[in-house]
Homo-oligomer: A and B are copies of this chain.
Amino acid sequence: MAYPFATRVQSITSSAVRDLLSMIQTGDVISFAGGLPDEELFPLKELELAYHKAFRSGGKSLQYGPTEGDNDLRLLIQERLQDKGIPASHDKILVTTGSQQAIDLVAKVFLSPGDTVLIENPSYLAALQAFNMYEANIIAVQSDSYGMIPEELEEKIITYRPKFIYVVPTFSNPQGKVWSKERREALVNLAMKHDLLIVEDDPYSELRFTEEEPIPLAAIDPSGKQVIYTSTFSKTVAPGVRIGWLTGPKEVVRKIALAKQSTDLHTSSIDQRALCYFLQDFSMQQHLHRLREQYKQRLDVMQTFLMKSDPNLFQWVEPKGGMFLWVTINRSIDTADLLKVAVEEGVAFVPGAPFFSGQPQKNTLRLNYTHSSPEVIELGMSRFMNAIDKVLASRVYER
């Protein structure tokens, strides 16, 4: 039987990143591919106590709950957002199943087939997949290391009248880049001038390695009307709990909540309740401090390897936070070819090409430094260097 799939899924295929992930789970390959935090650093004991408390609070923690989310959790998220300068009240916060669901729901609520979304280039893969599922017209805006180029952004706003602009301004995936304050302000101003929505995806900002805290777009917008802001506990607490959230203009959040209602009714009650107790009873600051220290150390180990090599071979911008090191190889090398050799050597990464919209830079790659211990990173990086040497010495490179 030929199944009559909707046009939106006729061309979808699995993401390269996730296929890699599943490949790597078997065998002795060290993976710098996924965007995984290190499970050794999960606050396991504290979470267990929080779940214990949720169970002791009775059956209500396991009952159906409101689509918008556990009210106490929304209040706790409100507090965290206000600390970041985002004036979100709890009734404009929607709890989601990870921030991936927030992205999907925004797309569901705004995108009809053919509608345009403006994105950075390169950009977060799974957001592009979500937009593609609603048959969006995805247009990349040229960016440099400070963020989108305002002139080109305005040109494309005028040309395409996008439904929204999707950005990861702080420690972006895949580039680990931070937008400058000027570029942030320019984006918000353009959104106001052209009466446009910005979707600010901010999963990584808590994982910063410097004192300086980049100001969220949602904290810049004086009207509170231009920005939908989404974040998650996946990178800070644990991804398996699948708790993210979004906030934005009241009318928009209400509509998204209605969309969530028919999508999955609500996010796990027990996970939400336990997360409340976790946030109430334990010091998130202390936990974050530990994560930042550990992840910075791992980044340093990784960078040391790149620095030891031929100084003209690699090019990268040191990330000030987040989970990824974005590397450009100064040779006409296709990192998809490099990956095959690397996996033979026992190490994996993500080739850069899939993150690009339009013409990809095939000599780029993304390395994750948060999942493996410093010792494993050392071993993995020496394998990576072996793979580079092999490819550079081989016909693959010369072709």
Contacts and interface: CB of A to CB of B under 8 A. Distances in A.
Nearest to A244: B264
Contact of A242 (B42, B58, B226, B267): B267
A337 interface: no
Interface string A113-150: 00100000000001001101110000000000000000
Contacts of A48: 51-52, 55
Contacts of A47: 55, 62
Given A12-B259, A48-B52, A129-B262, A112 B66 contact: no
A100 B241 contact: no
Interface residues on A, range: 35 or more
Identical subunits present? 2
B242 A4 contact: no
Interface stretch (A74-82, A176-184, A249-257, A288-296): A249-257
Contacts of A195: 1
Nearest to A3: B252
A59 interface: yes
A106 B61 CA distance: 29
A263 interface: yes
B258 A12 contact: yes
A191 to B, nearest CB: 10
Contact of A1 (B62, B98, B134, B225): B225
Interface stretch (A33-41, A312-320, A372-380): A33-41
Contacts of A101: 263-264
